[in-house]
């Protein structure tokens, strides 16, 4: 993402939590929000070193950051993530649910384990992140979920599992947007196309 070092710190005083922020798109979002003045909760699931590097980059830009390790495919871990974030910063204003994974297989080769893994992180995790965000955000907060162009595109082979997991996220988004309206919380989904991150290479 383009640097915003010379821009006004429009998010100063705000606290943002980003899941899957140790690498790829999530890392870029976390760093950008930090450069815009927000304090940032960097959630990650595996790579301690990578998460520490994201925190260091945000702090170098002049903002505060903390890394919290949690497997967001588990509802109990999502609840712990939000609890620790609130204990550390005292508030949350922005939540970006970015964690996700992929599988490319012919449909007749997809296993139950594949299904559980893809829907566990792409769908289940995003629901419980949105749920905890709804309960935790300040009035006027922002929830951003991550869908994909695959949710609505046709003509992509070997993609039913991934596309279905992301289509559900768009349904979550529309419903949460209605339910969160009384708190002036906006709920939106972004739908990236193919982005060549390290997950893409895997």
Catalytic residues: 147-148, 162, 166
Give Cα separations from 150 to 38, 97, 167 (angstroms).
31, 17, 8
CA 30-31-34 angle, to 5 degrees, is 90
Residue reference for tokens 């005083």: 13
SS3 category, 166: helix
Exposure string of 83-117, with b = 16+ CB inside 10 Å and e = fewer, is: ebbbeebeebbbbbbbbbbbbeeeeeeeeeeeeeb
Joined together, the tokens standing for residue 23 give 């690498």
Question: Within a 10 A sphere around the Cβ of 167, how many other Cβ atoms?
Answer: 15
Q: Which residues contact 168 (CB under 8 A, 6 or more apart)?
A: 119, 123
């Amino acid at each position: 993402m383009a640097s915003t070092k010379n821009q006004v710190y429009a998010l100063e005083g705000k606290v943002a939590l980003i899941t899957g922020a140790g690498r790829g798109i999530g890392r870029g979002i976390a760093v950008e929000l930090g450069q815009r003045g927000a304090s940032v909760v960097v959630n990650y699931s595996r790579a301690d070193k990578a998460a520490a590097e994201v925190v260091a980059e945000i702090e170098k830009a002049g903002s505060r950051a903390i890394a919290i390790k949690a497997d967001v495919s588990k509802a109990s871990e999502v609840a712990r993530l939000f609890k620790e974030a609130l204990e550390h910063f005292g508030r949350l204003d922005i939540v970006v649910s970015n964690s996700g994974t992929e599988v490319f297989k012919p449909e007749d080769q997809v296993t139950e384990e594949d299904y559980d893994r893809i829907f566990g992180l792409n769908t289940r995790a995003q629901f419980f992140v949105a749920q905890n965000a709804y309960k935790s955000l300040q009035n006027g907060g922002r929830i951003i979920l991550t869908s994909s162009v695959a949710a609505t595109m046709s003509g992509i082979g070997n993609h039913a599992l991934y596309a279905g997991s992301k289509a559900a996220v768009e349904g979550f988004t529309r419903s949460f947007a209605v339910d969160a309206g009384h708190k002036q919380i906006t709920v939106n989904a972004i739908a990236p196309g193919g982005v060549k991150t390290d997950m893409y290479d895997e």
